[in-house]
């Protein structure tokens, strides 16, 4: 057998292995997409109440500089607790980053959020997208 025959034989087996791997990856991606769609559908069914609020955080500016962002977070949680009557409150990563974006000394004066209450009474707070 010549070296060119060996090369072509190994190339054809490598190509077959790569196509099998690609098919496996496509199947795995398809399963992940289906699971995500099912979870999203279940999440939509679990939503009991959804509201958009503009929460004033200007009272945080009464605090000393180094306590403002933590106080703004407490003010936001108290506002949601007063208006939604939740069992528990979960602030999303985006909301936390929005409050802390300019550091501990300069939180925003107000923040627009979307509060979603599920069947268990748990409220998730997210940034409200531009309508």
Residue 35 to residue 29: CA distance in whole angstroms: 10
Per-residue pLDDT, 68: 97
Per-residue pLDDT, 19: 65
For residue 28, what are the CA distances in angstroms to 14, 15, 22, 34? 21, 20, 10, 10
Mean pLDDT throughout 49-73?
A: 96
Would you say residue 124 has pLDDT above 70?
Answer: yes
Where does the pLDDT of residue 131 fall: very low under 50, low under 70, confident under 90, or very high at 90 and above?
low
Mean pLDDT throughout 7-21?
A: 60
Would you say residue 24 has pLDDT above 80?
Answer: no
Would you say residue 63 has pLDDT above 90?
Answer: yes
Better pLDDT: 120 or 1: 120
Q: Where are the domains of the chain?
A: 48-127
Mean pLDDT throughout 21-36?
A: 65
Residue 94 to residue 43: CA distance in whole angstroms: 19
Assign domain 48-127 one CATH number from 3.10.620.30, 3.10.440.10, 3.30.479.30, 3.40.50.1400.
Answer: 3.10.440.10
Residue 41 to residue 13: CA distance in whole angstroms: 42
Residue 127 to residue 72: CA distance in whole angstroms: 15
Mean pLDDT throughout 11-18?
A: 61
């Amino acid at each position: 057998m010549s070296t060119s025959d060996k090369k072509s034989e190994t190339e054809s087996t490598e190509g077959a292995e790569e196509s099998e791997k690609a098919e496996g990856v496509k199947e795995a991606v398809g399963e992940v997409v289906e699971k995500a769609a099912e979870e999203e559908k279940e999440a939509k069914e679990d939503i009991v109440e959804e509201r958009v609020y503009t929460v004033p955080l200007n009272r945080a500016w009464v605090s000393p500089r180094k306590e403002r962002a933590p106080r703004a977070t407490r003010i936001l949680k108290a506002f949601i607790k007063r208006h939604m009557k939740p069992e528990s409150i979960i602030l999303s990563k985006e909301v936390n980053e929005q409050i802390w974006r300019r550091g501990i000394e300069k939180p925003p004066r107000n923040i627009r959020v979307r509060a979603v209450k599920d069947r268990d009474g748990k409220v998730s707070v997210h940034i409200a997208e531009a309508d």
